[in-house]
Amino acid sequence: MSKQEAPVKKNDTVEVIIEDLTHDGAGVAKLNGYALFIPKALPGEKIKAKVVKVKKGYGFGRVLEIVEESKDRVNAPCPIFNQCGGCQLQHMSYEAQLRYKQKQVKDVLERIGKITDVPVHPTLGMSEPWRYRNKAQVPVGEEEGGLIAGFYQERSHRIIDMDECLIQHEENDKVIQKVKELARDVGIRGYDEERHRGTLRHVVARYGKRTGDIMVVLITRGQELPHKNKLIEAIRESIPNIKSIVQNINSKRTNVIFGEKTVILWGDEYIYDFIGDIKFAISARSFYQVNPEQTKVLYDKALDYAALTGTETVIDAYCGIGTISLFLAQNARHVYGVEIVPEAISDAKRNAKLNGFTNVDFAVGEAEKVIPWWHAQGIRPDVIVVDPPRKGCDDKLLGTILAMKPKRVVYVSCNPATLARDLRVLEDGGYKTQEVQPVDMFPWTTHVECISQLVLKND
């Protein structure tokens, strides 16, 4: 069949076998080589589907009937799973999700990185894969005059009002519900995105799993927060363990949650939590991993792959608030961390001091500029650790790593596609990928974190 010809038309009903899943969890069926992507369908299932969109090389369908069901299919326990876009895989058993994530990483490494001879280990999952998130960011709006708060419907900006989210810690659920109720009671208006009116845009709840500390962040359209004192008093009375109430002002027409200005309304600027034995101060806008239990698993593996003996110099590119840096500092001679966000470096320095680490230094700037400068000062890393954003490492940083030739590179990735691309560059530059370990940081979603160990080949 020519790629130009679609064997189906919009609104056709077809019966297909699902062969695979896409990176975002949709089932993949083939009709004479033409790919049809069908959300909520699982590999091995025979599906009756309605074709909802047709493009030249592929189309999209919607499940009408499951003719033959996969043994991996389970009933999604969340009542709004089919409307909410937060989780994509609640209809799939947890064991099957872990296999799917391992396969996804393996397939992408082979397809994009042309890396075929590297062990990709089984995904490290959770014994209890529910209620793991320590931060809830919930949009607020109005419906028939009443305040609502929930998550966006899949592929839309319609808010689905909700009472609980099964991947949020129970404390966050309670906080969100209580703040919604109290804001409604004192007469605060929800934000209208289309008209750019109303007061309360988002409520953010942060919870320290080990400490029990709670922070509430009220994100408002303007500086004014009507009935502010009444609301603060009500929150303090209603939420035990509340340590901090913060207002963040975001007056822009934007999908970005936080604005630039943050005001402490009551309590402390920080709450605290631990990953392993290391204590972290967390502010309203701090980047802090949302699943601390699995973060410990991930960072233990990073330590393992760094193979530190206490004599090494380590550079942590994209260091954030110093989470990986401080883990590495437990076993390294000295760690240098670099991060482009000044507030993150302030947090990193505070966290180093909080834990009594004197063998770490942090710098603000682009890794691809700061690291060569360190090199010019005589710093010779034995290990470089990278944990870049989804777009992967900057080309210049990869070039810098290849020029500096550390013995080992530990690559932590939240996007297997850019990981595969960057591993190819490092392999072509003289490194060998030893192994890759997927870690399930976000059960019931399609996201997969992985960590790779590379060693410098002998010249």
Mean pLDDT along residues 361-387: 95
Is pLDDT at 104 greater than 80 in this prediction? yes
Percentage of the chain exceeding pLDDT 90 = 89
* Helical (H) or strand (E) element with 201: strand 200-207
Give me the pLDDT at residue 459, please.
58
Q: Please, which pLDDT band fits residue 1 given cuts at 50, 70 and 90? A: very low
Helix (H) or strand (E) holding 278: strand 278-282
The per-residue pLDDT for 2 is 46
Whether 302 and 412 share a structural domain:
yes
Within a domain: 87: no
pLDDT for position 231: 97
CB 372 within 8 A of CB 400: yes
**Domain check: are 266 and 319 in the same one?**
no
Predicted local confidence at residue 4, as pLDDT: 53
259 and 353, same domain (yes or no): no
**Quick one: CA torsion of 97, 150, 204, 195, rounded to 10 degrees?**
130
> Is residue 78 a part of any domain in this protein?
no
For residue 145, what pLDDT is reported?
Answer: 66
Per-residue confidence (pLDDT) for residue 404, from 0 to 100: 94
pLDDT 10s digits, 212-231? 999 999 999 999 999 999 99
Out of 84, 165, 319, 414, pick the active-site residue. 414
Mean residue pLDDT of the chain comes to 95
Token digits of residue 59: 């189309």
- Same-domain status, 112 and 152: no
CATH of residue 339's domain is: 3.40.50.150
pLDDT exceeds cutoff 90 at 327: yes
pLDDT at 392 over 60: yes
d(CA 443, CA 90): 9
Percent residues over pLDDT 70 in the chain? 99
Q: Do 218 and 198 fall within a single domain?
A: yes
pLDDT digits (tens, 9 = 90+) for 174-221: 999 999 999 999 999 999 988 999 999 999 999 999 999 999 999 999
State the Cα–Cα distance between residues 210 and 214, nearest whole angstrom. 11
* Cα→Cα distances 428→115, 353, 446, Å: 11, 40, 30
Average pLDDT over residues 136-157: 86
Residues 208 and 304 in one domain: no
According to DSSP, residue 67 is labeled E
The mean pLDDT of 241-245, rounded to a whole number, is 97
Q: Which residue blocks in 307-446 are alpha helix, DSSP H?
A: 323-329, 342-354, 367-376, 395-404, 416-428
Together in a domain, 179 and 262: yes
Instruction: Judge residue 263's burial from the number of C-beta atoms within 10 Å of its C-beta, 0-12 exposed, 13-18 middle, 19 or more buried.
Output: middle
322 and 345 assigned to the same domain:
yes
**CA 96 to chain CA mean position, Å:** 20
Say how many domains are in the chain.
3
How much is the pTM?
0.93
Contact (Cβ atoms closer than 8 angstroms) between residue 332 and residue 312: yes
Q: pLDDT band at residue 75, thresholds of 50, 70 and 90?
A: very high
The domain boundary, picked from 271, 303, 321, lies at 271
**pLDDT of 98 over the 50 cut:** yes
Chain centroid to Cα 45, Å, comes to: 29
Q: Can you give the CATH number for the domain in which 23 is found?
A: 2.40.50.140
Owning domain of residue 408 = 101-126+291-456
Contacts of 405 (CB under 8 A, 6+ apart): 430, 456
pLDDT in tens, 31-57: 989 999 999 999 999 999 999 999 988
Is 165 part of the annotated catalytic residue set?
no
Residues 279-312: tens digit of each pLDDT: 999 999 988 999 999 999 999 999 999 999 999 9
Within a domain: 388: yes
Residues 211, 263: one domain?
yes
User: Do 420 and 326 fall within a single domain?
Assistant: yes
